[in-house]
Amino acid sequence: MVNPVSASSEPIRAPLLQAIGITKAYGSFLANNAIDLDLYAGEIHALLGENGAGKSTLVKTMYGLIQPTAGELRWMGEKIELTGHSDARSRGIAMVFQHFSLFDNLTVAENVALGLDGSETFAAMSARLAKVSSDYGLPLDPNREVWRLSVGERQRIEIVRALMQNPKLLILDEPTAVLTPQEADQLFTVLFRLKSEGRALLYISHKLDEVKRLCDTATILRGGKKVSTCNPREETAASMARMMVGAEIGEVKAAVGRATTIPRLLINDLSMT
């Protein structure tokens, strides 16, 4: 007798966002070549690859900044076309870029307002900014000019601006590249909280130790193609690096120096005006 499937079996999870066969061609060059990627609510998903592997092209497609040559995006099972970042935001997709898009001579609140849809008064937006930044442990003074802020504080503005959109999916491009270790730890606390709230996070980084600490899944690109999806906690930094470059990564050893009287650099009669 065949036993029926148990009613307690876990339901099959559906992806929040699916990239299916995403291809982006620039002439004969394929920046993305038939890439599949599934992102789930309540997970932090790493996107890894060397510079030029196709990461930026893929996430810009997911954020509506680039339209694919072929393939499709599905949001909660529905095929969608994102013709700009406003389309992405309307679906609940937000992105924190690696390079800041801030005006130094404006205040924190004025910079945040430029990235929102203008549906609330400036006073209401400033109050909400203060609340969101406080709730997530990313304190900001809405009235402070950006030029007075540290690099880490400027990063907070970008993150809080994204959080004020109440995203279902948050894409972060190298978010710790400019942060101190203490600031990075503070960011990780925020990301774990967002995960616990059921949001999906796509995390781009070259720091593989961070990826092992933070991420539930990692997708690795090389030469515009997806080469692997893995559990980063079951991999070593070395094994993920091998997948990224397609070869063994040799150990770097310092050369043993020898005393010599031969100059390494010799400059004569240098003048500067």
Query: Are the C-beta atoms of residues 204 and 47 closer than 8 Å to each other?
Result: yes
Query: Are the C-beta atoms of residues 72 and 235 closer than 8 Å to each other?
Result: no
Q: Domain check: are 66 and 113 in the same one?
A: no
CATH number, domain containing residue 85: 3.40.50.300
Q: Which structural domain, as residue segments, surrounds residue 34?
A: 13-92+169-178+198-248
Summarised one tens digit per residue, pLDDT across range 239-266 is 999 999 986 555 545 555 566 677 777 7
| 140: pLDDT strictly greater than 70 | yes
Number of domains comprising the chain: 2
Predicted confidence at residue 203, as pLDDT, reads 97
Predicted confidence at residue 99, as pLDDT, reads 85
Predicted confidence at residue 119, as pLDDT, reads 84
Predicted confidence at residue 248, as pLDDT, reads 59
3-class SS string, the chain: CCCCCCCCCCCCCCCCEEEEEEEEEECCEEEEEEEEEEECCCCEEEEECCCCCCHHHHHHHHCCCCCCCEEEEEECCEEECCCCHHHHHHHCEEEECCCCCCCCCCEHHHHHHHCCCCCCCHHHHHHHHHHHHHHCCCCCCCCCEHHHCCHHHHHHHHHHHHHCCCCCEEEEECCCCCCCHHHHHHHHHHHHHHHHCCCEEEEECCCHHHHHHHCCEEEEEECCEEEEEECHHHCCHHHHHHHHHCCCCCCCCCCCCCCCCCCCCCCCCCCCC
Q: Domain check: are 204 and 82 in the same one?
A: yes
CA distance 15 to 168: 12
What's this model's pTM, rounded to 2 decimal places? 0.84
Q: Domain check: are 80 and 40 in the same one?
A: yes
Domain contains 189:
no
Predicted confidence at residue 252, as pLDDT, reads 46
Looking at mean pLDDT, say which of 9-23, 193-207, 237-251 comes out highest: 193-207
Q: Domain check: are 99 and 155 in the same one?
A: yes
| 229: pLDDT strictly greater than 60 | yes
Domain contains 117:
yes
Q: Domain check: are 47 and 173 in the same one?
A: yes
Domain contains 129:
yes
Predicted confidence at residue 11, as pLDDT, reads 63
Summarised one tens digit per residue, pLDDT across range 92-136 is 999 998 888 899 999 999 999 988 888 889 999 999 999 999 999
**Average pLDDT in the chain:** 89
Q: Domain check: are 106 and 127 in the same one?
A: yes
Q: Domain check: are 88 and 137 in the same one?
A: no
Q: Domain check: are 72 and 173 in the same one?
A: yes
Total length of the chain: 273
Q: Domain check: are 71 and 139 in the same one?
A: no
Q: Domain check: are 102 and 156 in the same one?
A: yes
| 69: pLDDT strictly greater than 80 | yes
Q: Domain check: are 99 and 110 in the same one?
A: yes
Q: Domain check: are 85 and 173 in the same one?
A: yes
